[in-house]
Structure 1
Amino acid sequence: MNVAPRASAPLETAAVVAGLVRAYGERRVLDHVDLHIARGEFVALIGRSGCGKTTLLRALAGLDSIQGGRIEAPRTPAVIFQEHRLLPWKSLWQNVALGLGEPGARDRASAALEEVGLGDRLDDWPRTLSGGQAQRVALARALVREPTLLLLDEPFAALDALTRIQMHRLIKRLVAKHRPGVLLVTHDVDEAINLADRILIMRGGGLARDLAVTRPIDAADLRAELLSELGVGVETD
């Protein structure tokens, strides 16, 4: 098995994927995928279950090997999963500061927690948090290192509707401030429309569509087009 080399991307580029191949036995989950994500760009990736969305994200994160192609991305991109993955035996600021390993780590963690609205809870424990608050800490932990690339694997899927709206507003504000390139894997078409500058549709191991989201948008028409691409009919009265 050959693993493609990973190199640092230029400043204006967050990630480049060229001819990416990932197979499980005889089945190619990723079949010569090409992708470019720029700094400050928010890209959403949608598709049916099992189409390879998370496989592509994990390859970009360096968590999965590949059989062919090329990846140019940071060696340690920031990743947020559906589960917050906070360490229960560490305080909130210690969770955010994981891996910083330098003087001033508490101050940097404090500033990151302040950005997500939890600046007064540095010494609290993860068990005291709601699901939305825990994801805010995970977001602070991801952004404290000023990453070039931020990978989001359905981080809002388990949240209630109101908390999800609040998290959408927060992530848009912080991405605009810190300007990482973002790849969001989601099953939620409305979430993709709300957050993304571009929406990619994965099908058959490749990227079947690449749609720019120009604002202001006709969300209803775009939603209908995306659902049609996914093979889901839109009910009409």
Structure 2
Amino acid sequence: MKKFYSLIAAVALTTTVSAQTTIVATITGINGGVVTTTNNPSDSNLTFTAASGASTANPPAFFAASGSTPAHLRLYSVRADGEGNTFTITPAAGKIITSVSFTVLTDKPTVTYKVGTGATQTATLADATYTLTNTAEIAGALTFKNAHTGGSSNLQVRIPAITVTYKDATTMAVVDATKGKANLVKNTIVSNELIFGAAAKVSVYNTAGQVVKTAEVAENSRLDVSSLAKGTYVVTGIVNGQTVSQKVIKK
């Protein structure tokens, strides 16, 4: 059994780089929260939805083109608590969003976002363009929010179009974890717990490319995976600035 374990643990991970797909979706309407767009008609990997915030009285609204102002979606703010309208981009199973950007009309309020169960981040604003870069590359829906607070008016995020880049979750650029010091998971055959050799924000993928567990772990910490079905999984995290991926077998 020890020899078998050693052979499994020594299997080198393949270094791969996935092609990324970028679409520019021009917003053409909203119906029941679902945002309609004109973009690549053969691309069915992204779904767009908008919703009211936790306490806002004004739901997201679509405004048709008027004069020199293009058609656009408006996300309203609630300056009392920052819980304004939200916009969610949901990728198809096996896809991962790597970046989002959009250029707004008029107001430029604070925009925050998060991916899956990841931490809340603040979008970068340059001139009138917001950029949301998912540096951790966590699979899951990306949600951004009009987080404006204070002042004397409720500022709006007015979006005519949105640019989204995504790629395959199962073919992220990784390093060979058996070479060098960036060893993420100590035990590659597990029963109930993963044991980590480095601190990282990790995601556990099943063979369909779906995230089944996420966590922030410390070196030598343990993560309970007893609820996962038996089979093969991929654990991905960023260690020392590198995206490291390791296969594990749940028995």
The TM-score with structure 1 as length reference comes to: 0.28
Structure showing greater radius of gyration is 2
Greater strand content: 2
Q: Which structure is richer in relative contact order (CA contacts within 8 A, separation 6 or more)?
A: 1
Name the one with the larger helix percent: 1
